[in-house]
Amino acid sequence: MPSVMTSKVIPAPIDTVWNMVRMFNGHDHWHPIVANSQIEKGTAEDQIGCVRNFKLSSGEELREKLLTLSDAETMFRYCLIETPIPLYNYVAELRLIPATLQNHCFIHWSARFQTPKDQTKALINLVQNSIQRAGIQAIEKKVTAHVD
């Protein structure tokens, strides 16, 4: 089962970063590949078990379920429940840790999943670069534009 991890220190306070990424349905405001998103059935976007239904800028539609959300640990975990991309048993976690000496934030995004054997390398690249790396770079750009 492939496992992909991407991390970076972002020069912004952890509270600033957490306030932006905490809302499970807010990724369309910062992730460059997410065109729009909505929470199904009017559920609160920070309620465990809520499902976000979103469309990528390329047109694919996906559904993900919030599994864990912890303000104390500044992390959330989610899984893919419907996707046209052959990522099976996909579970991801986004976690923030304070880098206290400079009041910065360490962001760690990980995912594990299964793929068809002939597509493993390409899908690892997709998750690491198009999802995690692109997302972290967008988070950094957005929060550092507002840091004094």
- Residue 95, pLDDT score: 98
* pLDDT, tens only, 27-53: 999 999 999 999 999 999 999 999 999
* pLDDT, tens only, 124-145: 999 999 999 999 999 999 999 8
CB of 138 closer than 8 Å to CB of 32 = yes
- Phi and psi at residue 18, to the nearest 5°: -60, -40
* pLDDT, tens only, 58-106: 999 999 999 999 999 999 999 999 999 999 999 999 999 999 889 999 9
Query: Any idea where the domains of the chain sit in the sequence?
Result: 3-144
DSSP strand E in the chain: where? 3-10, 34-39, 51-56, 61-70, 75-82, 88-99, 104-114
Who's near 147: CB < 8 A, 6+ residues apart?
11, 12, 13, 16
What is the CB-side half-sphere exposure of residue 87 using CA atoms within 13 A? 28
d(CA 22, CA 44): 12
CATH number assigned to the domain covering 3-144:
3.30.530.20
- Residue 118, pLDDT score: 97
